[in-house]
Amino acid sequence: MPPRSAEPAGEHAGRRTCAVVGHPVAHSLSPVMHRAAYRALGLDWNYQVVDVAPGGLAAFVNGLDASWRGLSVTMPHKVDLVQLGTPDRTVHQLGVANTWVRTDDGAIVANTDVEGLVRACGDHGVEAIDRVVVVGAGATARSALAGAALMGASSTTIVSRSLERSGRALGLAVELGMECQWLPLDRDTAENLPESDLLISTVPAAALESLAEALVARAQAVFDVIYDPWPTPLARAAASAGRPLINGLDLLAGQAVGQIALMTGHQVPMELLWAAGRDELAARART
């Protein structure tokens, strides 16, 4: 059962604390995005970075005091988070969450990655698709499949190193009403992929070093969920081929719009968050 709308718990109780939680997490751009939103909204809120070792998320969440309002949760905790609050419908379906919010009615967990992916694609003119190829089969890939389904995808090809570890993603594709097939991540597959409207990569950049050009050649648009280091081999191949290119910064900004709305009760434009992330990446590049 999806949770009720998340009204800010103790809205007038003073300064609130939020954080991004992951392992590793020092590289995250979430702090600059959320802090930019707080400034724009006139909120005197605090946003931290917390490294929590694998398996430690429940203990961390259970130890939070009443000043804590919300968490942006990244790998490797997105599956563990599902059990730490009332899930929204997307979380229930995917078994993946990225947002924890304390409300007056108790904690909720949500998945804003799906809407973030759709928002990021739309920002680049990719709004309706029929065929999608997803490289990888983990938690991010499941969110990508759900996003693709919302954009109208009727068929998907999941490309990964292990059929056994792709079972949940394949099952989800069927549940979402898509025809699906699995192919191994190798040179032969890359050169003989079915054509697609969108290629979404959820794997590390180095995994596609020798396959990027072949993968891009079969796609009308490319989405690489990585944002640093950038450009990735896949991004370079997409740019060279003149394909619309969506990246992890677009996704991070798109999903943060939903997180901020859940945590604060207010909307901010995606462009504000994207610009904050872009400026932070530029500053890091100069150091």
Catalytic residues: 78
Phi, then psi, of 112 in degrees rounded to 5:
-100, 0
What amino acid occupies position 192?
Answer: N
CA angle 158/159/165 to nearest 5° reads 80
- Mode of pairing for the β-strands spanning 106-110 and 99-103: antiparallel
State the Cα–Cα distance between residues 166 and 80, nearest whole angstrom. Answer: 19
CA angle 278/282/284 to nearest 5° reads 120
State the Cα–Cα distance between residues 29 and 274, nearest whole angstrom. Answer: 10
Q: Which of 62, 101, 54 is nearest to 80 (CA)?
A: 54
Residue with tokens 């068929």: 155
Residue 91: which residues within 8 A CB-CB, separation 6 or more?
82, 97, 109, 110, 111
State the Cα–Cα distance between residues 162 and 153, nearest whole angstrom. Answer: 23
Residue 132's DSSP bridge partners are: 156, 198
Cβ atoms of 252 and 272 closer than 8 Å: no
Q: Which of 261, 278, 254 is nearest to 43 (CA)?
A: 261
Cβ atoms of 62 and 83 closer than 8 Å: no
Q: Which of 193, 15, 5, 212 is nearest to 103 (CA)?
A: 5
